[in-house]
Amino acid sequence: MGSPIRFEFESHAPLGRVGVIHTPHGSFETPAFCCVGTKASVKGVLPRDLARVVGAEVALANTYHLFLQPGSDTVAAAGGLGAFMQWSGPTVTDSGGFQVFSLGAGFGKKVSKFEVPEASSDGAAPAVWDQDVASQHGRLAIVDDEGVTFTSHIDGSLHRFTPERSVEIQHQLGADIFFAFDECTSPEAPREYQVEAMRRTHRWAARSLATHRANLEARSTQAIFGIVQGGRYPELRAESAREIGSMGFDGFGIGGSFSKRDLGEALAAAVHELPPDKPRHLLGIGEPEDLFEGVAQGIDMFDCVLPTRLGRTGTLYTSSGKVDIRKSEFASVHQPFSTVPDLAGFSYAYLNHLFRAGEMLGPLLASMHNLAFIVGLMRDIRTSLVEGEFDMFKNKFLSQYALKK
RNA sequence: GCGUCGGUGGCGGAGUGGUCAAUCGCACUUGACUGUAAAUCAAGCGCCUUCGGGCUUCGUUGGUUCGAAUCCAACCCGGCGCA
């Protein structure tokens, strides 16, 4: 059976691969950065600016969020995600598996996808992962083998996702690429729970795939990616990749939590077991350093909320690191804050003013700049791969980027 | 001039005998953010600190009281009303 997307390799260097992915809504070059538009909106950025100013080629939205609001029926009636949000390029939807984590075990806590380097030694309560304990903390999602029961964070209404339901909803959303329903675990969860969640994710992957295969129409226009889990343990990552990799998915997502220090190791273990001819998407990553690491390990696609979230809250990516544009030191800097052609006329002083004055243009310009920075970095990384100068470019970029870190 | 109301930390504004270095908001400072519960959140914001606490503050001065930002008196300043 053919896949509705086609992955064409341009080169397959030892340190990273270069290609093009063709979808029913156009093509995009890999390695690629997918701009996140969770609720069918890349926060603060018009689709035409996303394409023209940012240079983005792919947008990613979320099943859980669109299911709750406005509802997948509405999106389907509009002609699918792309038509609804006026994005004519390729689209991707995440399955809602991440929300199982963020609204479940991670609810009300500060746990992220990454393990905290060293546990806080100030006697703070350990992050809660256990379901019973967590249920006392107001979490909104409970996992069982069949699926996930959750209450809407919007109105408290009760809902249930199963792999079958998630796929059906994603068929309605109609993205070119969508993900199987998985369970994203907290980095705080012990190994035994990582194993349990990983095996459950495998069972859910098989059910997601079966549901998708049963829908002939969707099969012809949408590609389904299976998700590899396994936390920060290389041996679990390998086991998960072997399992998921053998099921016949069109591509793969690598999800879950990592240890910042061992990201590369966990990725290597997973990638080694995945079919080399299919695309790999590293879910929810990342920072510039992480993009280099991911590419070096053979990742083809990334997505991350940071460019827009950081931009919206006043932090800018620059070639010498991240800077907080709200700081008073920028109030008198009348130099371009961005090298992006369409933004180069705006100064640091102006952006500083916009943020301090609470003008909405500030977050919008900063979001656009950050997306352009990351998408541009991705493009530069791709070029360096093509020219065989990845390591040189990486070292050059990171040595300068670390200056303000 | 008489009457009246009022003067609190950068600003606004609570408090009207002890639990007040003084609620809260704004401003300011710092920090966080990785498949977006987020145009959000956290911490700090008189001075000093060996983090136990210590010291000086609520227009000014004096007084009452064990104890005053809170009560009294005088004075200074401001709003309003009447002359």
* Shortest-distance nucleotide from A140 CA to C1': B37
pLDDT tens profile A314-341:
999 999 999 999 999 999 999 999 999 9
Q: pLDDT above 70 covers what percent of chain A? A: 93
Whether A120 has a pLDDT exceeding 70, the answer reads: no
Q: Which two tokens stand for residue A112?
A: 């992220």
pLDDT band at A112 (very low <50, low <70, confident <90, very high): confident
pLDDT band at A11 (very low <50, low <70, confident <90, very high): confident
Å between A90 CA and B72 C1'? 80
Cα–Cα distance between A311 and A298 in angstroms, integer?
28
pLDDT of residue A229: 96
pLDDT of residue A117: 56
Q: pLDDT above 90 covers what percent of chain A? A: 80
pLDDT of residue A211: 98
Write the single-letter amino acid at A259: S
Averaged over A255-268, what is the pLDDT?
Answer: 90
DSSP 3-state of A303: strand
Å between A282 CA and B34 C1'? 11
pLDDT band at A299 (very low <50, low <70, confident <90, very high): very high
Q: Give the ipTM.
A: 0.88
* Shortest-distance nucleotide from A304 CA to C1': B34
Whether A215 has a pLDDT exceeding 80, the answer reads: yes
Is A132 annotated in the active site?
no
Averaged over A362-370, what is the pLDDT?
Answer: 98
Averaged over A66-73, what is the pLDDT?
Answer: 96
Write the single-letter amino acid at A38: T
Helical pair A361-386 and A348-356, crossing angle rounded to 10 deg? 140
DSSP 3-state of A301: strand
Averaged over A1-27, what is the pLDDT?
Answer: 89
pLDDT band at A135 (very low <50, low <70, confident <90, very high): very low
Helical pair A361-386 and A390-401, crossing angle rounded to 10 deg? 150
Which residue out of A155, A290, A303, A380 is catalytically annotated?
Answer: A303
Å between A5 CA and B7 C1'? 75
pLDDT band at A141 (very low <50, low <70, confident <90, very high): confident
Protein-contacted positions of strand B (CB under 7 Å):
27-41
* Shortest-distance nucleotide from A359 CA to C1': B39
Q: Which of A273, A271, A279, A197 is nearest to A231 (CA)?
A: A197
Å between A53 CA and B71 C1'? 69
Residue pair A188/A129 in contact by the 8 Å Cβ criterion: yes
Is A94 annotated in the active site?
yes
Whether A165 has a pLDDT exceeding 80, the answer reads: yes
Å between A387 CA and B37 C1'? 43
Asked if the peptide bond before residue A70 counts as cis, ω within 30 degrees of 0, the response is: yes
* Shortest-distance nucleotide from A179 CA to C1': B35
Å between A69 CA and B30 C1'? 37
B29 C1' closest Cα residue: A327
Task: Tell me what the pLDDT averaged over chain A comes to.
Answer: 92
Averaged over A376-390, what is the pLDDT?
Answer: 96
pTM for the complete prediction? 0.92
Å between A365 CA and B29 C1'? 24
pLDDT of residue A133: 42
pLDDT band at A129 (very low <50, low <70, confident <90, very high): very low
Q: What is the DSSP string of A133-153?
A: HHHTTT-SEEE-SS-EEEE-T
Which residue out of A49, A94, A250, A300 is catalytically annotated?
Answer: A94
* Shortest-distance nucleotide from A256 CA to C1': B35
Averaged over A26-43, what is the pLDDT?
Answer: 98
Tokens 């980095």 found at: A187
Q: What is the DSSP string of A58-106?
A: -EEEEHHHHHHTT-HHHHHHTTSHHHHHT--S-EEEE-SHHHHIIIIIT
pLDDT tens profile A167-214:
999 999 999 999 999 999 988 889 999 999 999 999 999 999 999 999
Q: What is the DSSP string of A190-226?
A: -HHHHHHHHHHHHHHHHHHHHHHHT-HHHHHH-EEEE
Write the single-letter amino acid at A355: F
pLDDT band at A149 (very low <50, low <70, confident <90, very high): very high
Averaged over A85-113, what is the pLDDT?
Answer: 89
pLDDT band at A121 (very low <50, low <70, confident <90, very high): very low
Q: Which of A184, A192, A201 is nearest to A112 (CA)?
A: A184
